[in-house]
Structure 1
Amino acid sequence: MTDPPAGGTPRSSLAVFRDPASVAVVGASSNPAKWGHWLARGALAGRDRRSVHLVTRGGGDILGMPTAPTLAALPEVPDLVAVCVPAPHVAPVIDEALGLGVRGFLGITAGVPDAAALAARITAAGARIIGPSSLGLYDAETQLHIAWGDFQPGRLAIVSQSGQVGSELAQLAQRAGLGISRFVSVGSQLDVTMADLLDDLTDHAATSVVALYAEGFDDGERVFAAVRRLRRAGKPVLVLSAGDSEAGARAARSHTSALTSPAELVDTACRAAGALRVPTPAALVDVAACLAAGTPPRGRRIAVLSDSGGQGALAADCAHRDGLTVPRLSATLAGEIAALLPETAATDNPVDLAGAGEQDLASYTAVARALLRSGEVDSVLMSGYFGRYGLDSAALAGAEQDEAAALAALPVTYGRALVVHSMGADGEAADLLRDLGVPVFPTVGAASGALSGAVELDARPVRESSPRAPDISAPAGFWETRADLLGAGIVFPEARRVQDRAQLLGAFAELRPPFVLKAPWLEHKTEAGGVRIGLADAAAATVAFDEMRGRLGEGTYLLEEQDVRPDVTELIVGARRAPGLGPVVTVGAGGTRAEVHRDTVTECAPVSPEQARAMILRLRCAPLLTGWRGAPPADLDSLVHAVVAVSRLIARYRGDRIELEINPLRVGPDGAVAVDALLLAPADGPGHDTQGET
C-alpha cells in the first residue's frame, strides 16, 4: 500500500492555528451561557503571548476588555478570527475579514448557508478555515484557547470529528492526570481536514500520544498516511470510530463485503499504519495513559502483585483475557520474594502480599523492585488496596505518598512498566503516582485492558509502502476476470463456454467428467439455481443444461471439469477497494457457508508473501491446512500465491468500489484450484459488466 501525499497546502499554512500573533473573537458575549463568552474568556487567557480583540455589535466591555463593533474598527488586522455569530451573519463577517487580509478562520457557527461556497472564497484568497461547526481549538504549548470548556495542559492531542466526543475525551484525560497538548474539533472539514491536522502534529513537541475520533473515512488514505508519519515520529495514534454496523453487510453483493464490517476495515487500516482502534472514549484514554507513562509497557509477560488473593486472581484472569501472559516465576525469584513476605504469602505469580502491606507499606516497593529487576517479566500490574490507606486513615497518608514516590522510581530505574489498579484511585497517593508517570486505574479491567492495548500498539509495526504499479482497467466480464486471474498464476479447472447443444457436445470431447455446469453471470449461483455439480457424464450434463437454459434463458454458460481431489479445504480469497480506505484483501473459510463461519482475516493490499502467510495462519480454520488429525497438509505456498496475486490485482485496478473474489478456492496437498470467481464494479465505471455475456 502506498502512502498518498499529505495533500492540501503546506504545513506552514496551518501555523495561524498553532500560534497566531493576534486573535479576534467575533460574536464575543458577556453572557456565560453563550459560546461567545467561552471563546472570549479562553482567548483572553493567552494575552501574555498575543494580542486579543473582542468584536460585538452591542459594544461595551466584556470580561473587563473593551470591544469593537467590527473587524475594521480594530487597531490591527488579526491573524486568526473566531467566528461565532448567527449563521446568516457569518458570510458578511468573513468577507469583511478577507478584505482586510485575515489569513485564518475558526468557524464555530453551525448551519451556515452555502458554506462550501464560503470556504471556496476563503481558500481562493489564500486563507484557511477550520470548520464551520467546530467546537474550537486549544494548544497548551502556545496558550491558545478558543473553545468551549476548560483544558489542563498535558501530553494527549485530540483531533475529533465530533466536538462533543472530543470534549469527553479531554475531560476523561484530565481526570486520568493525562491532560491535553492540543485539541481540535474539525467540524465540517470544508477546508482544513483531519489529515492536515494530524500531519501538523508530527513536530508538535508537547504531544506524545494522539487521539483521533472519526465518523467516516472519505479521506481515509490521506488520514492513515498521516497516522503513519506520526508513528514514525514516535507519536502513537489511538483511533475511535463510529459505524460498526451490520447494515452495510446486509446490502453486500459479494461474500467478501458481507464478511468485513466498517470497523474491521478501519482495524485493517490501523494495523497497516501502526495505530490501534479502541472501542470507547474511556478505553482510549486508558491506553493513552499507559502510552504516555514515564516508562510505557513493552512485552506481554506481566507479574500480578496484589494485597488480596481474590483481587490477584481476578487481575490474572483479566490479563489472560486481554492477551497478556502471567508466567510462573523461577524458583530463585519466588524464593527472593518469599524472604520479603509472611509465610502465608503466594509467591508464584500472582504474588499475594498476604497482609504485609498493612504491616509495612515498604513491602509493596520491595516486591515490585524484585519483579521489575528480575528480567522474568516485562511489566508489573499492581492491584488492590494501595492508594486507599491515606484515604481511610489520615495517619498513613504521608507514609503512603512516600511509598508512591518510591514505587514511581522503579520503572525509570529498571526500564519496565508499572501499572496500578487502586481502590483509592481518586486519592492523593494515586495522584502522585500519576504525576510521577505511573498510570493508575479505578478498576482492574481498565488497568489490564490499557496495559494490553499499549503492548499491542508497541508491537505493531508500520507497514512500509509498496511501490505503486501502473493502473490497469478492471475486466469487463467473467471470462476476462478469469483471464486476469489465470495470468496472475491462479489455477482454474479446464472449462469451455457453451451457448447451445452443439457447443456442449464439442465441450464433452475436450473435458473429463464429472462436470460442473454454471451460469457465470450470476453473483450468487447456488441461491439462483445457477450451478450444478457432480454431473457424471455427457447425458447428465445435457439434461442439466437444457433445464438450466430453459429456466434462466439464453446466455454463455460454463461447462467445467469438477475438482474432485481428496483432502481439500475450501477457502475464500477476496479483495475490494474500500471507499476512502483503499484496497484490502481478505482470506477466510469459504464456500456457500462463508458468512456462517465468519472466519476471515483482512489486510491492506498489496501484501507480501510473508504477510499473506501470517494472515492464513491467523485463521481459526488454519489447522485444517496444516495436517489436522493426520490429514496431509495443504500446499500453503499455492494459497499464499493466490492471496498475494489477488491483493496485487485489486491494488492496480483503476476506480473505486471494485470487488474481486475467488470462492471457493479449493486448497489441497497438490495445490490450490479456483472454482469460481466474481468481479463487481460500479455500473458507471470500468468493468461494470462483470459477469459475462447473457
Structure 2
Amino acid sequence: MIFSDPASVAVVGASDDPAKWGHWLARGALVGRDRRAVHLVNRGGGSVLSEPTVRSLSELSEAPELVVLAVPAAHVPAVVDEALAVGVRGFVGIPSGIDDGVINRIRSAGARLLGPNCLGVFDAATSLHLAWGRFQPGSLGVVSQSGQVGLEIAGLAASGIGVSRFVSVGNQADVTATEALLDLVSHDMTKVVGVYLESFGPGIVSAMSELRAAGKPVVLLTVGSSTAAREAARSHTGALTSTSDVVDAACRRAGAVRVATPAALVDLATVVSSGVPRGRRIGIISDSGGQGAIAADLASAAGLSVPALSSVDGLPAGASSRNPIDLAGAGERDLWNYARAVEVLVRSGEVDTVVLSGYFGSYGADTPSLEAAEVAVASRIGFLARETGVPVAVHSMCADSAAVRALRADGVPVQHTIERVVAAVGDAARLGALDQRSVGAVSGAGLSVPAGRIESGDPFRGDLCASLPYQPGYLAARELLSFLRFPKAHAVTSVAEVKATTLEGPYALKADWLPHKSEHGGVRINLTDPATAFDEMEASLGPGTYVLEEMDTRENTVELIIGAKRDHSFGPVVLVGAGGTHAELFKDTAIELAPVTPATARDMLARLASAPLLSGWRGAEPADLAALAEVIAQVSETLAARPDLAEIELNPVRVGPDGVLAVDALIIPRGTR
C-alpha cells in the first residue's frame, strides 16, 4: 500500500514557487491530509502553502512511510541516506539522473522506488495526489512509462471517464509497469486500464491477462512500428516480423487492444468502461440521412457490420426502418423520439452497439427552453445502455452542453466528430472479439500429427526435441524437426555419390550449409541430370556437403512460410504466411505468441489474404488445413521448448489435399548474430 495509500508522506523539496515541482507535489499531498500525515520538507525552513515545514527528515518524530524526492538529482543521495537511516520504506523519484548507487542502496535496505524520472502517482480512492497536474476522479487506471504522455491521457479523460489511479513508472529502476498493472486488479475504482509503454518487461502479458480476467479491459498505447529488419535479421521470419506485429500478438494473447494515440486510448476506454460489445453489429440512428450514411461508411471501413433490421416496431412515425435509421424530423417534433429509437435498437437483439449521430445535444444550447427536456432524454439514453448492457455512443454537433455533460455523467461517450465515435466502437468490437487466452505453455499432448503423415520420424514429443543437440545445416534441421514430413533425400559430397543415388527424379540439389540457398546459387530444382548440376554447383561454391532430394511433384499445392523466432520482449513468437522466394515481397503473414494450439493456428491461417488458396480456390481441392495447423502448433512449441534456439524457419512448406511437406528448413541458434 506504500504507493496507493501510505499512512504518511513527506515531500522533500516543498516550495511556494508555482513553477517548481515541489510546489505541485506539496499542494497535491495536502489534499490527503485528512487521511494521512503530510510533512513538508524545505531546507530553508519557514512555511510552504501556509503550512509549517521542517528542514530535514531527521527532525520528524517518526519516519514517513513514503517520501517524494522533489530535489535536484545532486541532492538525492544525501536525502535518500537520511531517509533510510530514519526508516523510510518508499520513495517517489521525480528527478532524472539518480545514479545506480542510490538505487542499489534503496533496494538493499528493502525499500521501494517508483521512478526515477517519473511524474508521480495519484489515487482517487485514497486522496493520494503526489504528481504534477490535476486529475478528475473517475474509472480509468493509467500506467505510463512517459509521465507527459500519461498526463495527456489523464487530461483527455478529465471531461468524461476520469482517472481512478495514475502511476508514472519512469525508468522502472525498481517498481515496474507489471507491478503497477497487477496492483490495479483489486483496485475497485478502476473499471478499465490504459497503458503507455515504450519497452516491455517480464510479466506484462500475464498482468494484462489478469486484468481482463477481472473484467477490466486493457488499452495499450506504444511506439516503434518499424520493422525488425533494423535488427539485421538473417531469416525471412525476422524480416517479416515487425515490432507492432508482435505487440498485437501479445495483446491478443492477453485479451487487450493496441491503439495509436492518447485520444484513441481514452475514446476506447470510455466506450468499454460500462461494457464491452458482444459483437461487431452496429445500429446507427441519425436525424440526417447524410450523417447516417457517413457513419455507415466509416463503420464498414472499421470492420463493423451494419446489418439490416428485421424487428423495428416502435420507431417514431416517418422514421426509416432500415439501418442507418433516419428519424427524418421526428426528433424536432418530440425530443423523446431519440430515446425511443435508441430503446428499439438496444432491446432488439440485432445489434451489439448503438451510435446516435447528429444534432442531439445541441437543442438546449441553441434553445435554452429545451435544455431540461434534452437533459431528461439524455438520462434516459444512459439508463437504457446500463440496463441492457448494449453500449451507446453519441456524436453530437455540439462540443459541450448540459445534455452532453449529462450523457457523459451517465457513462455514455460523446464526441464532437463521428470518426472518433466510430473508431472507438470499432476498437471496442475488436476487444470484444478477443478470446481470453492462456499465457502458460501449451502442453504437447494432442499436438502429434495423425498417423500416416510423417515419413522421417516419430510424432512430436517435446522431450525428444529438447534432447537433440543443434547442428548447423539443412540435414541437421530435418533431423531435429522429426515431426515434419520432408522429401526423400540424402547427403552427397561427390559426383559419384550423385550418380549412385536410388532417389527418383526430378531432383533438387541444395548446399546443406547455406541458410538462404536461392540467393547464393545454392539450390537447383527440376533436375533430370543431377550429376552435371553437382559439378557446376561445386565449382561455384566449393566442396562441402550437398543434399540430393526428390522434388515434390504434387499438383494443387500452396507454398507457405512457417517460422518461429524469439522476441527480446515477449519470448517465442510463431509466424505463418505466403511463402517461397516472394515471401518478403507479399508480406502476407499472421503472428502469435508461441506456443499456439492447432485451433489458434487455424485462426492465423484464416487471417491471411491468401487464405482462399487453401480452401479450394476456383474449384481446386482444399488443402489439408488440419495437418497444416498441427505443424504450425508443433513448430511453435519446439521453439518454446528449446531455449538454445533463436529461430526456426520452414520456407517453403508445400501443403496440398494430401498433407504438408517441408522442402527447406533453417535453424538459427541463440548467440550467433
Task: Pick the TM interval, shorter chain.
Answer: over 0.9
Query: Counterparts of 1:317 and 1:362 in 2: how far apart (Å)?
Result: 27
Report if aligned partners of 2:468, 2:480 keep a CA contact under 8 Å in 1: no
Identify the match of residue 308 of structure 1 among 288, 291, 294. Answer: 288
Q: Is 1:662 aligned to residue 650 of structure 2?
A: yes
Give the equivalent residue in structure 1 for 2:115: 131
Q: Give the superposition deviation at 1:461.
A: 1.8
Q: 1:179 to 1:473 in 2, by over 3 A?
A: farther
The answer on whether the counterparts of 1:474 and 1:653 sit within 8 Å (CA) in structure 2 is: no
SS at match of 2:2: helix
Q: Which runs of 5+ in 2 are unaligned?
A: 444-461
- The AA in structure 1 aligned to 2:93 is G
- The aligned amino acid for 2:157 is A
1:692 — aligned with what? none
Contact 1:472 1:652 survives alignment (8 Å):
no
- Deviation at residue 476 of structure 1 after TM alignment: 2.6
Give the drift of 1:247. Answer: 5.7
Which SS does the other structure have where 2:251 is aligned? Answer: helix
**CA 1:648–1:247: 2 relative to 1, 3 Å:** closer
Q: CA separation in 1, counterparts of 2:314 and 2:19?
A: 61
Q: Distance in 2 between matches of 1:473 and 1:341?
A: 75
Of 2, 18, 21, the match for 2:4 = 18
Match of residue 171 from structure 1: 155
Write the letter of the residue equivalent to 2:607: R
Contact 1:474–1:654, Cα closer than 8 Å, also in 2: no
Q: Tell me if the contact between 1:313 and 1:350 (Cα under 8 Å) persists in the aligned partners.
A: yes
**Do the aligned partners of residues 247 and 274 (structure 1) sit closer, same or farther apart at CA in structure 2, a change above 3 Å counting?**
closer
Distance 1:108 1:254 in 2: 43
Q: Helix, strand or coil: the match of 1:643?
A: helix
Q: Which residue number corresponds to residue 570 of structure 1?
A: 559
- The verdict on how the C-alpha distance between 1:415 and 1:198 changes in structure 2, with shifts beyond 3 A counting, is closer
Q: Distance in 1 between matches of 2:478 and 2:105?
A: 50
Q: Is the 8 A contact 1:249 1:257 kept in 2?
A: no
* Residue matched to 1:620: 609
In the alignment, which of 376, 379, 383 is matched to residue 402 of structure 1? 376
Which of 473, 480, 494 in structure 1 is aligned with 2:476?
480
After the TM superposition, which of the residue ranges 660-669 and 549-558 deviates more from structure 2?
549-558
Residue in 1 that maps onto 2:441:
466
Runs (4+) of structure 1 exceeding 6 A deviation are none
CA distance in 2, matches of 1:411, 1:492: 57
User: Does the 8 A contact of 2:442 with 2:597 survive in 1?
Assistant: no
- Alignment match of 2:534 (pick from 515, 526, 545): 545
Alignment check: 8 A CA contact 1:517 1:532 kept: yes
Q: Displacement, 1:467?
A: 5.3
Distance 2:39 2:13 in 1: 11
User: Does 2:246 correspond to 1:265?
Assistant: yes
Supply the distance in 1 between the matched residues of 2:658 and 2:435 (Cα, whole angstroms).
Answer: 34
Q: Is the Cα–Cα contact under 8 Å of residues 249 and 259 in structure 1 kept in the other structure?
A: no
1:186 corresponds to which of 163, 166, 169 = 169
SS at match of 2:265: helix
Q: C-alpha distance in 2, partners of 1:189/1:391?
A: 47
How big is each residue's C-alpha offset from its partner over 1:174-227, in whole Å with a ceiling of 9 and x where there is no partner? 13x11101101101111111111111111011101011111012x2x4111111
Task: Specify the alignment match of 2:54 in structure 1.
Answer: 68
Distance in 1, Cα, partners of 2:193 & 2:387: 27
The normalised TM-score by structure 2 is 0.94
- Tell me which moved more, 91-100 or 115-124: 115-124
> 1:249, 1:261 within 8 Å by CA — same for their partners in 2?
no
Structure 1 position 399, deviation (Å)? 1.8
How far does residue 655 in structure 1 lie from its aligned partner after superposition? 4.1
What is the root-mean-square deviation in Å for CA atoms of aligned residues? 1.7
* Displacement after TM superposition at 1:500 (Å): 2.4
Q: For residue 82 of structure 1, report the CA deviation from its aligned partner.
A: 0.6
Using the alignment, how far apart are the partners of 2:11 and 2:241 within structure 1?
46
Name the structure 1 match of 2:299.
Answer: 319
Shift of 1:415: 3.1
2:405 matches 1:425 = no
- Alignment correspondent of 1:37: 23
The match for 2:459 is: none
Matches within 5 A, 1:350-429: 350-429=324-403
Quick check: 2:314–2:340 contact (8 Å CA) kept in 1?
Answer: no
1:679 maps to which of 660, 667, 670 = 667
Query: One-letter code of the match for 1:352?
Result: D
Q: Are the equivalent residues in 1 in contact too, given 2:190–2:216 (CA < 8 A)?
A: yes
CA 1:679–1:211 in 2, change beyond 3 Å: closer, same or farther?
Answer: same
Task: Tell me: CA distance 1:106–1:290, structure 2 relative to 1, closer, same or farther (3 Å).
Answer: same
Counterpart of 1:201, as a letter, is L
Question: What percent of counterpart residues are identical?
Answer: 53
Contact 1:156–1:181 (Cα < 8 Å) also in 2: yes
Report 1:46-85 matches (<5 A): 46-85=32-71
* TM-superposed deviation, 1:244: 0.5
Work out the CA distance in 2 between the residues paired with 1:659 and 1:519.
20
Q: Secondary structure at the match of 2:158?
A: helix
1: distance between equivalents of 2:214 and 2:389? Answer: 21
Residue 88 of structure 2 aligns with an amino acid whose one-letter code is V
Within the candidate set 53, 71, 75, 1:89 is matched to 75
Q: Is the 8 A contact 1:473 1:654 kept in 2?
A: no
Distance 1:574 1:41, change over 3 A: same
CA apart distance, 1:501: 2.5
Q: Tell me the secondary structure at the aligned position of residue 537 of structure 2.
A: helix
Which of 318, 322, 344 is the aligned partner of 1:348?
Answer: 322
Residues 146 and 170, structure 2, Cα contact 8 Å, conserved in 1: yes
Partner SS for 1:346: coil
What is the TM-score with the length of structure 1 in the denominator?
A: 0.91
Change (3 A) 1:80 1:553: same
SS at match of 1:678: strand
Return the letter of the residue paired with 1:385. Answer: Y
1:454 aligns with 2:446: no
Q: In 1, distance between residues paired with 2:670 and 2:648?
A: 13
Q: Is the 8 A contact 1:236 1:275 kept in 2?
A: yes
Deviations along 1:462-521, one digit per CA (max 9) or x if unpaired, are 2123356665576231232211212x2x11111111222333333xx2211111111132
Label 1:668 to 1:261 Cα distance change in 2 as closer, same or farther (>3 A).
same
Return 551-560 or 177-186, whichever deviates more: 551-560
Indicate conservation of the 8 Å contact 2:286/2:327, yes or no: yes
Matched, 1:648 2:654: no
How far off its partner does 1:84 sit? 1.6
Question: Separation in 2 of the partners of 1:642 and 1:233?
Answer: 34
Per the alignment, residue 236 of structure 1 pairs with: 217
The residue number in structure 1 matching 2:196 is 213
Question: Relative contact order: is structure 1 or structure 2 higher (C-alpha 8 Å, sep ≥ 6)?
Answer: 1
The Cα shift of 1:296 comes to 4.3
Distance 1:86 1:94 in 2: 12
The whole-number CA distance in structure 2 between the counterparts of 1:634 and 1:249 is 35
Q: Residue 581 of structure 1 aligns with which residue?
A: 570
Q: Secondary structure at the match of 1:17?
A: coil
Aligned to 2:544: 555
CA contact (8 A) 2:486 2:662 kept: yes
Aligned to 1:199: 182
664 and 243 in structure 1: CA distance in 2 versus 1, 3 angstrom threshold: same
Q: Are 1:519 and 2:511 counterparts?
A: yes
Residue pairs, 1:485-504, within 5 angstroms: 485-486=481-482, 488=483, 490-504=484-498
Q: Is the 8 A contact 1:25 1:36 kept in 2?
A: yes
The alignment covers a number of residue pairs equal to 651
Q: Which moved more, 1:549-558 or 1:384-393?
A: 549-558
